[in-house]
């Protein structure tokens, strides 16, 4: 399996190179040269496979031999070692809860998979370098403590730089914590992440460093962008990014569509289509679901639920793709003005607008109706949505209603009983306490799994919103 750049100006690479470099040299996103096709027999077998084995079967073709099977099995098992329950909210709408991982958001899956892949490759590269320096074949290296120490000093450590508005940083910090040979530096905007998010970013220690930037998320992102272009930083560090354009973060997101489908067919068999509503910002998550479908998983229709940042919703209505500067909303993980993964969706749809409209719908909602929906669903259905899930819930209701209206009279009965959708609940409501607690009129319990954070001490390095200050700090650190 090879990957090509969607900008078409760079050579094809394997999974290892795509994962290490993130973006192609021509700034294009990597895309697999062929989408693996699972046979009917394989899909039938997937129905009852345990999660870890299923994850291995799905990821193996994409990894394309760059990770040995035993290691990939272990990476997959570690990546998905928590629950992905499909929980009914109403008679027709279900929540696929993706917030049972260590940082309470779906980004855990991508971050955990990517971190372990980079850890694997980093170890492999060091072994190769060490072998070159001592003229022995890599296979012959015995991993003694001394050998590893020498090898580590023989190469620059991989340093992941990431700017975050909240969820990404926590998932990446947690995913990379303790991964040998990889350091992580997280830039987050001071005072602009929620208390739980800040604790997730700043209490890891070890190979994770948090920089508290006196500025906005955009400032953090600008510093990271400048860093990737800077010659002296690139000479001192082996820099890489951990955002969703990296194939190692993007592709494993397919897994929970497989897990959802397993639960769906166990309940409904093959007859009732599983329509899927995904709260979308950068469109990496929904694009992964569409890949799963393109590889043969029998999924229903896809719906992208958006907040006021609705470039894709408008595109589907008008055929005009007009990007805007992001506006701030209560579902802030979707505040993206120019979704970077949308080019991948177009590639899956053979860059054909009619195909796109067949496979994808999109709706957009403002903050007022988002908050009132959190209130309504809590009162009516006793389910606490987070702001992103609330946007998805609204889209699911609208999708079902429009489908009912457009179906012909004689179909109504069967359509009515069969029309169901799942929404992806992408984060735990406790990560957005201000909005959710105001909407439901009470406080939310902090899940036991993250209560330990409350006893930890925040450690963050204060940093001005200036690239030169950041660069000076980085270079001083590299020498020490
Ligand atoms: C990142 C994120 C999203 C958006 O996912 P994309 O893959 O960028 O579309 C939605 N909800 C939450 C809670 C997130 O953290």
Task: For the chain, give every domain's residue range.
Answer: 84-105+250-444
- C-alpha triplet 325, 369, 100: angle, nearest 5°: 85
Q: pLDDT tier at 136 (50, 70, 90 boundaries)?
A: low
What are φ and ψ of residue 56, in 5° steps?
Answer: -65, -45
- From 175, 194, 245, 282, mutation site for ligand 1 pocket: most ligand atoms within 8 A of C-beta: 282
The b/e string for 449-465 (b: 16+ C-beta within 10 A; e otherwise) is: ebeebeeeeeebeebeb
- Cα of 468 vs centre of ligand 1, distance in Å, is 31
Q: pLDDT tier at 127 (50, 70, 90 boundaries)?
A: confident
Cα–Cα distance, 8 to 189 (Å, whole number) = 35
Residue-level pLDDT at 324? 86
- Cα of 331 vs centre of ligand 1, distance in Å, is 9
Protein residue with its CA nearest to atom 8 in ligand 1:
282
Q: How far is CA 462 from CA 188, 210, 215, 466, in A?
A: 10, 9, 11, 12
Protein residue with its CA nearest to atom 14 in ligand 1:
333
- Whether 162 and 173 have beta carbons less than 8 Å apart is answered as no
% of residues, the chain, pLDDT over 70: 93
Query: Is pLDDT at 154 greater than 50 in this prediction?
Result: no
Q: Cβ < 6 Å from ligand 1: which residues?
A: 105, 107, 167, 244, 279-285, 333-334, 388, 426-427
- Cα of 326 vs centre of ligand 1, distance in Å, is 14
192 is catalytic: no
Q: What is the DSSP letter of 308?
A: S
E-state strands within 266-389: 275-279, 302-306, 360-364
Protein residue with its CA nearest to atom 11 in ligand 1:
426
Closest listed residue to residue 159, CA positions, set 73, 257, 227: 227
Query: Is pLDDT at 150 greater than 60 in this prediction?
Result: no
- Ranking 125-139, 140-154, 344-358 by mean pLDDT, the lowest is 140-154
Q: Look at phi and psi of residue 385 and say left if phi exceeds 0, alpha if psi is from -120 to 50, else beta.
A: beta
Neighbours of 26 (CB within 10 A): 12
- Whether 209 and 159 have beta carbons less than 8 Å apart is answered as no
Mean pLDDT in residue range 29-45: 97
pLDDT one-digit tens code per residue, 335-367: 888 898 999 999 999 999 999 999 999 999 999
Q: Is 84-105+250-444 assigned to CATH 1.10.10.60?
A: no
- Cα of 185 vs centre of ligand 1, distance in Å, is 21
From the list 27, 47, 51, 107, the catalytic residue is 107
- Cα of 70 vs centre of ligand 1, distance in Å, is 31
- Cα of 184 vs centre of ligand 1, distance in Å, is 21
Protein residue with its CA nearest to atom 1 in ligand 1:
333
Mean pLDDT in residue range 286-295: 98
Residue-level pLDDT at 363? 98
Mean pLDDT in residue range 408-414: 56
Q: pLDDT tier at 137 (50, 70, 90 boundaries)?
A: low
Mean pLDDT in residue range 449-460: 92
Kind of pairing between the strands at 86-88 and 93-97:
antiparallel
Which residues, in sequence order, are bridge partners of residue 182? Answer: 158
- Cα of 282 vs centre of ligand 1, distance in Å, is 7
Query: Is pLDDT at 149 greater than 60 in this prediction?
Result: no
What are φ and ψ of residue 47, in 5° steps?
Answer: -55, -35
pLDDT one-digit tens code per residue, 413-438: 565 678 999 999 999 999 999 999 99
- From 110, 166, 221, 281, mutation site for ligand 1 pocket: most ligand atoms within 8 A of C-beta: 281
Q: What is the DSSP letter of 181?
A: T
Does 252 or 326 have the greater pLDDT score?
A: 252
Q: How far is CA 439 from CA 95, 193, 261, 327, 384, in A?
A: 19, 19, 31, 21, 10
- Ranking 163-167, 246-250, 280-284 by mean pLDDT, the lowest is 163-167
- Looking at the CA of residue 386, tell me the nearest atom of ligand 1: 13
Query: Is pLDDT at 308 greater than 60 in this prediction?
Result: yes
Residue-level pLDDT at 141? 54
* Predicted TM-score (pTM) of this structure: 0.91
Residue-level pLDDT at 391? 98
Residue-level pLDDT at 319? 95
- From 285, 337, 387, mutation site for ligand 1 pocket: most ligand atoms within 8 A of C-beta: 285
């Amino acid at each position: 399996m090879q990957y090509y750049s969607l900008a078409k100006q760079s050579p094809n690479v394997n999974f290892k190179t795509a994962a290490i470099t993130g973006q192609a040299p021509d700034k294009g996103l990597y895309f697999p040269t062929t989408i693996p096709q699972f046979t009917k027999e394989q899909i039938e077998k997937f129905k009852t496979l345990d999660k870890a084995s299923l994850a291995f079967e799905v990821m193996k073709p994409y990894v394309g031999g760059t990770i040995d099977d035993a290691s990939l099995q272990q990476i997959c098992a570690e990546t998905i070692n928590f629950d992905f329950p499909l929980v009914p909210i109403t008679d027709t709408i279900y929540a696929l809860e993706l917030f049972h991982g260590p940082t309470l958001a779906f980004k855990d899956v991508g971050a955990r998979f990517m971190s372990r892949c980079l850890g694997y490759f980093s170890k492999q590269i060091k072994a190769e370098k060490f072998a070159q320096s001592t003229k022995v074949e890599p296979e012959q290296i015995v991993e003694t403590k001394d050998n590893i120490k020498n090898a580590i000093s023989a190469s620059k450590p991989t340093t992941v730089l990431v700017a975050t508005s909240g969820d990404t940083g926590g998932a990446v910090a947690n995913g990379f914590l303790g991964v040998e040979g990889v350091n992580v530096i997280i830039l987050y905007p001071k005072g602009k992440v929620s208390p739980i998010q800040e604790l997730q970013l700043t209490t890891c220690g070890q190979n994770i460093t948090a920089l508290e930037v006196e500025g906005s998320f955009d400032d953090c992102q600008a510093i990271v962008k400048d860093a990737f272009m800077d010659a002296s930083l690139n000479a001192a560090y082996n820099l890489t990014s951990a955002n969703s354009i990296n194939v190692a973060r993007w592709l494993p997101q397919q897994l929970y569509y497989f897990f959802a489908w397993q639960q769906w067919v166990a309940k409904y068999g093959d007859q009732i289509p599983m329509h899927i509503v995904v709260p979308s910002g950068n469109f990496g998550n929904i694009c992964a679901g569409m890949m799963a479908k393109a590889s043969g998983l029998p999924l229903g229709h896809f719906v992208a639920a958006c907040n006021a940042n609705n470039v894709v919703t408008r595109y589907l209505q008008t055929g005009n793709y007009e990007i805007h500067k992001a506006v701030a909303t209560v579902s802030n993980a979707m505040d993206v003005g120019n979704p970077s993964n949308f080019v991948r969706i177009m590639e899956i749809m053979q860059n054909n607008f009619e195909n796109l409209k067949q496979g994808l719908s999109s709706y957009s909602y403002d903050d007022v109706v988002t908050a009132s929906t959190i209130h309504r669903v809590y009162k009516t259905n006793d389910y606490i949505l987070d702001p992103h899930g609330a946007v998805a819930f609204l889209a699911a209701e609208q999708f079902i209603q429009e489908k009912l209206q457009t179906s012909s009279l004689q179909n109504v009965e069967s359509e009515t009983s069969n029309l169901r959708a799942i929404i992806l609940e992408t984060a735990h409501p406790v990560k957005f306490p201000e909005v959710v607690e105001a909407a439901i009129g009470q406080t939310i319990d902090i899940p036991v799994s993250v209560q330990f954070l409350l006893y930890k001490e925040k450690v963050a390095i204060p940093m001005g919103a200036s690239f030169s200050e950041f660069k000076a700090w980085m270079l001083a650190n590299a020498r020490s």
